[in-house]
Structure formats: C-alpha cells, structure tokens
C-alpha cells in the first residue's frame, strides 16, 4: 500500500479523537487556483500559550486487538486497515513541516499486538524526531493504557502534551462497551503522568536544565451519550480529574453512532447541544470557581439545554440576587450571568474611582442583556422584568413561547473543537435556536458566560 493511501486511511481513522480538532474540509485543488484543503490529516489545535497551530493528525495503525463497541476501528469491524512504520511518520512530519503545511504532530494509535509494543512504536517516533531530526515542533501523543510506566515516562520527555483517553465515564460502562479495557490501566498512567509533570516543574525551579516532561500538560476525552451517566456524574468525574491528576483539559465528544451493537443506544443524532453545555460547565469549573455540585444536583442532574449553565445556576439560586455592582466581591461578580472575567475585573477597578451606575457599565462595555436581571447599580434594579424565575427565563429564551422542546442539533462528523463545533451548530440550526447559539458561540470564544 502506498504512503498516500495509508495517510488517507489513518488520518480518517484519527478524526474521532476530539482532543485535537480537525477542519474536515474537502475542497479540491483547481487548475489556476492556489492550494487545496486536503482531508488527509491536517487539523488545528491550540498550544498551551493559546496559539492556533496546524497539526498532522494520524494514527500509527488502525489494526486493533480490542473490540470497543462504539469504535470504528474495533477488531470485529470490516474496515480497510493500515499501519505506518515509525520512520514513515517521521518522514511525513519532517516533509510536511519543511513545506510549512504543519507546525506539529498529533499521534495516536489503536492497539497492535499489545500495549507495550504499541507504546514502543510511538516512543520511537517522538524520540527520533527530537534526537535524530532535531524536530522542535509541537508533539501531542497518546499514552497507551496498559503500557509500562518506563515507556510512558520516556515518551513524556520528548512530547509537549500527552493524553490517556478515559472514553467512558464509569467502570460499569467500560465493562459493557469496552470489555478489554480496565479502569485502573487507564487511571494509572494518568496518575503517573500527573505526578511526573509536577516533579519536573519543581526540578526546573532548582536546576534550569532539568529535563522537560509533558510541558503542555495532559488531557483526556469522554464520550457523551453512549452510556446512561448523567451530566452530574460526568462533571464530578472531570472535577476529580482536574484536582487529582493535574489534567489540563477534559474533552467531551458527543457519541456518534458508527456501529450497530445491542449495547449501544439508538440515537438519531449525536447529542451535540449536551456536549456543548458540558464544555460550558467545564469552563465554569476551571475559570469561575464553581464546583460540580453547585451546578447540578441529584434532583437536577442534567444541564438545561435551553440555558447556559451559569444562567441556569443563577436562576436556581435567585435568593442570592440581585447583587449590588458597587459592593459585590469579585468572586460573586463572576457568578453574574453575562459578566465574565474581563468584565468583573473592569468593574472592580473602575468602582474604586467612583460608584458605577448603569450607563457606566455600558460605557465599560459590559454586556447587560443577561446581567440586567441579576444586578443593582446604586441599589436600583434595571431588569426589564421582575426578579422571577419564569419571567427571566422567558426574557432570556423567548423561544419558550413558541417551542416546547428545542431538539438536539445534527452536526457533521467533523464538529470536533468547541469553536468549530459552535460555528457548525449555528449554521445548521433552526431560526428559533440561532440567537441562543450565537450567544453561546461567543461565550465559547471569550469564556464569558
Ligand atoms: S482500543 Fe478500543 S477505542 Fe481504541 S482503537 Fe481499539 S477498539 Fe477503538
């Protein structure tokens, strides 16, 4: 099989991993025009310092000894298979890099022979790229569950980011859909990578030349909707992963049916709005000081798909509002719907000079569409309705008047990053959902909920 054919198969097989996003464009090159958006493997991702970079996103192989029910590459599927040699991946990376197609490599793999053998092959790629080719670009590599700690540690010395995919949010679901996988074999490398990242950072405080270890941090991916876990269970798991394993990111991937299996749910469309709400809830955990148990409860374990999680929390806790904009602590300002980190900082700085009124907030560029219902300025309330759950919901989601249920939206298979994801949702959505999603899309870009 020639290299192009392998590239086509193994980049296509890598597209289900959302911890690195792909454009998925199929625009062909044309005579007289410049360039072509090849589907084979080039995708975009964000580095730890926030730069958007192009990566070659491929699998080492899609031959797999496991048979996970939800996976296109599972052993029992009749799909075209291919494997790269480590040297082929190195050559592709260097050639693409030299031509300026990519700034780095995202390398994952199905499990061929066994976990150690697969990890050894991945390690060879990273090691040779760094030591023999002098490659200084970005490398994101999967750590293979079940591989030895030594192999994973060695790989961590050469890559920028590592991820171990949990995939399913509970042990029971793993047993049901991925019976070859073992919860401990997934958590053990995660734990080890997390503690080695901390040790390496500590060592570099004392010795400037101490070796780097996964400087971009580690991430994981959870499939949403293939199993019955609630949003509360999923968000609790994410919170634990951030706290215990020092994770940089948890990625959520709406379950996309690709196989027929009696243990899989029958979904007409992937639950992409649910995935989107989970990303927003996750953002509140990481940047706004919320805890999972504040956003969701055993009585209400699912996010409301009509409202972003911060609005939903505020409406469930109306007794805490309105807050006086001139007195509320920074942490409480952050909890006001519509006021994000930048806005809260602006308010805190400006009110030191003089008390702020409603017009001052507008002049500061604070978006008051949502915030008006939850604040007072110099004790005066400016909301266009009473402080009442139902009335505010009606103002925030006028579609309630017309549509009882806003359905989950169908996306293309390539709705992989939260940003491209929102754009696709927006373009494909019904007119009733569009205003809601436009706000959500902006919030996903700015982080202001
Ligand atoms: S281990 Fe499971 S999820 Fe991973 S490639 Fe193999 S079948 Fe797919």
138-142 and 375-377 as β-strands: parallel, antiparallel, unpaired? unpaired
Give the span between the Cα atoms of 374 and 397, in whole angstroms: 16
Instruction: Report the pLDDT value the prediction gives residue 7, as an integer from 0 to 100.
Output: 87
**What's the pLDDT at 15?**
77
Alpha helices in 288-411 (DSSP H): 292-295, 309-316, 330-333, 341-350, 358-363, 368-371, 389-396
Helix-then-strand count for the chain, H and E: 17, 11
Supply the pLDDT for residue 53.
72
Sheet of 323-324, strands arranged across:
323-324, 375-377, 380-381
Give the pLDDT score at 74: 95
Q: Rounded to the nearest whole angstrom, what is the distance from the C-alpha of residue 265 to the centroid of ligand 1?
A: 18
Ligand 1 proximity of 68 Cβ (cutoff 6 Å) = yes
DSSP for 114-151, please give it.
-HHHHHHHHHHHHHHHHHTS---SEEEEEPPTTS-HHH
Residues of the chain falling short of pLDDT 70: 18-51, 398-449
Q: What does the pLDDT read at residue 92?
A: 92
Q: Are 29 and 196 in contact (CB under 8 A)?
A: no
Which protein residue's CA is at the shortest distance from atom 4 of ligand 1?
Answer: 110
Q: Which residues pair with 226 in a beta bridge?
A: none
pLDDT at 1: 85
What CA–CA distance (Å, rounded) separates 25 from 39? 6
> Cβ neighbours of residue 339 under 8 Å, at least 6 residues apart?
333, 347, 366, 371, 448
Tell me, in angstroms, the distance from the centre of ligand 1 to residue 70's CA.
9
- Mutational pocket test of ligand 1: of 9, 12, 68, the residue with most ligand atoms within 8 Å of the beta carbon: 68
pLDDT at 447: 43
Fold designation for 3-290: TIM Barrel (3.20.20)
Residue 433 pLDDT? 45
Question: Would you give the DSSP letter of residue 424?
Answer: H
Structure tokens at 175: 């047993």
Per the CB < 8 A criterion, the answer to whether 431 and 446 are in contact is no
> Domain residue spans in the chain?
3-290, 309-396, 401-449
Longest dimension (CA), the chain: 73
Closest CA to 422 of 386, 446, 400, 404: 446
* Number of the ligand 1 atom closest to the C-alpha atom of 109: 5
- Cβ neighbours of residue 345 closer than 8 Å, sequence gap 6 or more: 330
Q: Cα dihedral angle (139, 140, 144, 150), rounded to 10 degrees?
A: 50
Ligand 1 centroid from CA 153, angstroms: 22
Q: What was the pLDDT predicted at 429?
A: 44
Q: What are the two backbone dihedrals, phi and then psi, of residue 116, each rounded to the nearest 5 degrees?
A: -65, -40
pTM of the model: 0.81
- Provide the pLDDT for residue 18: 62
57 Cβ closer than 6 Å to some ligand 1 atom: no
Q: What is the pLDDT, as a whole number, of residue 4?
A: 86
The length of the chain, given as a count of residues: 449
């Amino acid at each position: 099989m020639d290299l192009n054919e392998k590239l086509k198969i193994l980049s296509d097989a890598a597209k289900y991993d959302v911890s690195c996003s792909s454009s998925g464009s199929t625009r062909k090159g044309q005579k007289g025009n410049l360039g072509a958006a090849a589907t084979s493997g080039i995708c975009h991702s964000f580095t730890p310092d926030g730069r958007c970079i192009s990566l070659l996103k491929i699998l080492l192989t899609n031959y797999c000894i496991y048979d996970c029910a939800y996976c296109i590459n599972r052993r029992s599927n009749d799909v075209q298979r291919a494997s790269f040699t480590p040297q082929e991946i190195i050559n592709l990376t260097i050639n693409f890099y030299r031509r300026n197609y990519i700034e780095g490599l995202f390398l994952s793999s199905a499990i061929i022979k066994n976990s150690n053998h697969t990890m050894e092959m991945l390690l060879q790629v990273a090691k040779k790229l760094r030591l023999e080719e002098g490659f200084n670009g970005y490398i994101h590599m999967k750590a293979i569950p079940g591989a030895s700690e030594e192999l994973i540690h060695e790989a961590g010395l050469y890559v920028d980011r590592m991820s171990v995919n949990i995939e399913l949010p509970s042990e029971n679901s793993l047993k049901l859909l991925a019976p070859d996988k073992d919860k401990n074999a997934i958590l053990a490398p995660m734990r080890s990578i997390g503690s080695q990242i901390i040790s390496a950072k500590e060592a570099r405080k004392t010795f400037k030349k101490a070796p780097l270890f996964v400087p971009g941090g580690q991430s994981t991916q959870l499939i949403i909707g293939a199993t019955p876990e609630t949003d509360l269970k999923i968000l609790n798991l994410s919170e634990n992963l951030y706290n215990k394993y020092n994770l940089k990111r948890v990625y959520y991937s709406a379950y996309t049916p690709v196989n027929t299996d009696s243990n899989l749910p029958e979904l007409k469309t992937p639950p992409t709005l649910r995935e989107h709400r989970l990303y927003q809830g996750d953002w509140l955990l990481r940047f706004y000081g919320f805890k999972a148990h504040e956003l969701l409860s055993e009585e209400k374990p699912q996010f409301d798909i009509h409202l972003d999680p911060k609005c939903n929390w505020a409406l469930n806790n109306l007794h805490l509002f309105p807050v006086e904009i001139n007195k509320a602590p920074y942490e409480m300002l952050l909890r006001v719907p519509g006021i994000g980190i930048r806005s809260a900082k602006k308010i805190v700085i400006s009110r030191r000079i003089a008390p702020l009124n409603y017009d001052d907030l507008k002049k500061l560029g604070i978006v008051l569409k949502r915030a008006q219902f939850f604040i007072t300025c110099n004790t005066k309330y400016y909301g266009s309705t009473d402080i009442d759950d139902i009335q505010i919901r009606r103002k925030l989601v006028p579609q309630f008047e017309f549509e009882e249920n806003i359905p989950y939206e169908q996306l293309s298979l390539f709705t992989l990053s939260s940003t491209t994801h929102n754009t696709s949702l927006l373009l494909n959505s019904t007119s009733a959902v569009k205003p809601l999603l436009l706000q959500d899309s902006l919030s996903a870009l700015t982080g202001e909920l």
